Structure 1
Amino acid sequence: MSEHNIDSLFIAPDSTIEDAIKCIDGNQDGIALVVDSERRLIGTVVDGDIRRAMLAHIDLKSPVTVILERKPALYQKPISAPVNTSRDTLVELMREKYVRHIPLINEAGQVVDLFHINDLMEMSPGLLPVQAVVMAGGFGTRLRPLTEETPKPMLPIGDRPLMERTIGLLRKSGIRKINVTTHFLPEKIREHFGDGSGFDVELSYVNEETPLGTAGGVSLIDPPDTPLLVMNGDLLTDVNFREMYAYHQEQGAVLTVAVRRYEFTVPYGVVESQDGFVTHLSEKPSFGFFVNAGIYLLEPAAFHRIPKHQHTNMTDVIDQLVAEGLKVACFPIREYWLDIGQHADYAKAQADVKDGKVGV
């Protein structure tokens, strides 16, 4: 069994959700263990719990106990096992309870170790059973003149092109097979990346003779027999694709769309009225929405609903799946994410990379 720095996983019951995020991001195991002063287990918090709290609009400054109280009945009592439990029994418990971590408890009731699904391999996480599609065919009209002779995904961000950062993130996530859809100046992309071997990935290209929308180009690749991660080529992000894949599986979704919280403040006092009389006045109120972040995880069944060689947007595919009563999940992004659509976005991307705000 791999060694775990168990103390680095502990947080106190009076910790906030933000504290749990820092704990999860700061260790290699992807879990925070809520324990009392005697190291007795009170509950567990994993990445999916954080993202479900975000979807429920829970303030991340709230106590972590809010997440524990929201857990389904099956998980109200944390899943754990005695420290001397056999590996086979632990694996069976993982399968039965659909968990990736099992805290191990000694005779005094204290947490002394952790069994992680990666311990089955006695190594770092391996490859994901996922292939990717990077949509790199746009004209980048709003970024002209920068994009007059350069495809938008090839614009330099810091010391290398944006798309090189994207491919690096996919590789880091355990995704090696990557398809690239092209249209505008495709040779610039092919000349830089070739077959991908220089970047330790396997690259394939499909060219859209005419723009086919945010989903139509995906239909041109060979039909996948594994989930397909599709992302826009103009995104700068360090989203945890491993967690997105795990979340997608947990939700039992045919398609998962990544979403980003967007806040909008009305720059005026908003007046509400009825029958000509003021009922309420809000001074510069703020509103929050989840917006499409341009990253999708599709099961083969969702892929097969994309019409071949037709202009189709991913929103059309999602609408069809929802109309059919199939599960389409939302995966809220809490990591760095920036859509580089305009000059101001490009300048921000440069500054953020220089300041170390993005991890790719």
Structure 2
Amino acid sequence: MSAGTTRALVLDLMRAVRISVVPEVDAAGVLVGLHTLSEIVGSAPLPNVAVIMAGGRGTRLGELTKDTPKPLMTVAGRSIIEWIVLGLVGDGVREIWVSVNYLADQIEEHLGDGSRLGCSVRYLREDPALPLGTAGSLTLLRAERPDLTHPVLVMNGDLMVEFDANDLLDAHRRTRATLTMATRTYQHEVPFGVVESAGGRVTAVSEKPTLSFDINAAVYAVEPRALAWLPSGEASSMPDLVETCLERDEVVTAWPITSEWIDVGTPTDLARAKGHT
């Protein structure tokens, strides 16, 4: 494999062809390193639990999600949610909970107990008549695992993203945050000249300026005690939890992701994800 290949892709190859060593080569085909199965999944497991939010209906994908849940959309021969699980396993996560609702049986049948992917997968089952949102289903985790003492990794089940969970958790600990949210830089070029004025007089003109924002990348590290602040039996979102933390004067920090990040929300996004693998 070429240098820089993600751990998830390396692990996928190992499991697909049942090998335990994969060479890494540079652009000239010169050997620069080796990936070993023990290196990827044999290291000490993280004590952290991860939660993948996979209960949404994916309505923006139209007919594509009429009979198939969005996390089961296929990219490079595997479902999106499998790529997420493989990425987490490659970082040392061994206990993964998946929040399910829409077409839940398909996701549960697809992932099973997680053993073929190198981890334990369990499910947080929402009432189909009462969707709980991206944070509300964490109240189900609160009930299932009241003994949690380490930060919980939380992420959406429709993301194609490479990030290092260890780096995120290290930053979370270092800043003593209650909640750390991954961010991604988003740039938008205004297709017109932008005029600045004061009192009717033009003070500046910027031709097609590029605006830059930090956006929510839908990957989080959350202290277990913050789960107690989520309302039981009603929908809530991760931005709601962020606002709650801020209102309580808790530390909320941003952790930038610089790698490729695709939120597979539309057919265009799905096509882009397929083209970047």
TM-score (norm 1): 0.63
1:253 matches 2:177: yes
1:187 matches 2:111: no
Match among 114, 133, 140 for residue 213 of structure 1? 133
**Separation in 1 of the partners of 2:166 and 2:272?**
26
**Separation in 2 of the partners of 1:241 and 1:336?**
15
1:337 matches 2:261: yes
**Separation in 1 of the partners of 2:211 and 2:116?**
46
**Separation in 1 of the partners of 2:124 and 2:132?**
12
Q: 2:235 matched to which residue of 1?
A: 311
- Per the TM alignment, residue 336 of structure 1 is displaced from its structure 2 partner at its CA by 1.9
Contact 1:133–1:228 (CA under 8 A) maintained in structure 2 = yes
Report SS of the residue matched to 1:153.
helix
**Separation in 1 of the partners of 2:226 and 2:68?**
32
**Which amino acid is the alignment partner of residue 342 of structure 1?**
T
Q: 1 or 2 for the larger relative contact order (CA 8 Å, sep ≥6)? A: 2
* Structure 2 residue ranges without an equivalent (≥5): 6-41
- Once the two structures are superposed, residues 164-210 of structure 1 have per-residue CA deviations (whole angstroms, 9 ceiling, x without a partner) of 11000010010010000011100101111111112111111111112
**Separation in 2 of the partners of 1:337 and 1:200?**
24
Report SS of the residue matched to 1:335.
coil
* Runs of 4+ with >3 A deviation: none
**Separation in 2 of the partners of 1:314 and 1:188?**
25
1:301 matches 2:221: no
**Separation in 2 of the partners of 1:199 and 1:272?**
55
**Which amino acid is the alignment partner of residue 240 of structure 2?**
D
Q: 2:272 matched to which residue of 1?
A: 348
- Per the TM alignment, residue 306 of structure 1 is displaced from its structure 2 partner at its CA by 1.4
Report SS of the residue matched to 2:180.
strand
Q: 2:54 matched to which residue of 1?
A: 136
1:153 matches 2:71: yes
Query: What does 1:97-136 correspond to in 2, within 5 Å?
Result: 125-136=43-54
- Per the TM alignment, residue 135 of structure 1 is displaced from its structure 2 partner at its CA by 0.3
* Structure 1 residue ranges without an equivalent (≥5): 1-24, 27-123, 354-360
What percent identity do the matched residue pairs reach? 39
Task: Give RMSD over aligned pairs.
Answer: 1.6
Query: What does 1:65-84 correspond to in 2, within 5 Å?
Result: none
Contact 1:239–1:337 (CA under 8 A) maintained in structure 2 = no
Report SS of the residue matched to 1:205.
strand
Match among 192, 205, 209 for residue 268 of structure 1? 192
Q: 2:249 matched to which residue of 1?
A: 325
**Separation in 1 of the partners of 2:238 and 2:80?**
22
Task: Count matched residues.
Answer: 233
**Separation in 2 of the partners of 1:167 and 1:277?**
56
- Per the TM alignment, residue 125 of structure 1 is displaced from its structure 2 partner at its CA by 4.7
**Which amino acid is the alignment partner of residue 212 of structure 2?**
G
**Separation in 1 of the partners of 2:209 and 2:139?**
43
**Separation in 1 of the partners of 2:74 and 2:156?**
16
- Per the TM alignment, residue 301 of structure 1 is displaced from its structure 2 partner at its CA by 1.4
Report SS of the residue matched to 2:64.
coil
**Separation in 1 of the partners of 2:240 and 2:80?**
27
Q: 2:86 matched to which residue of 1?
A: 168
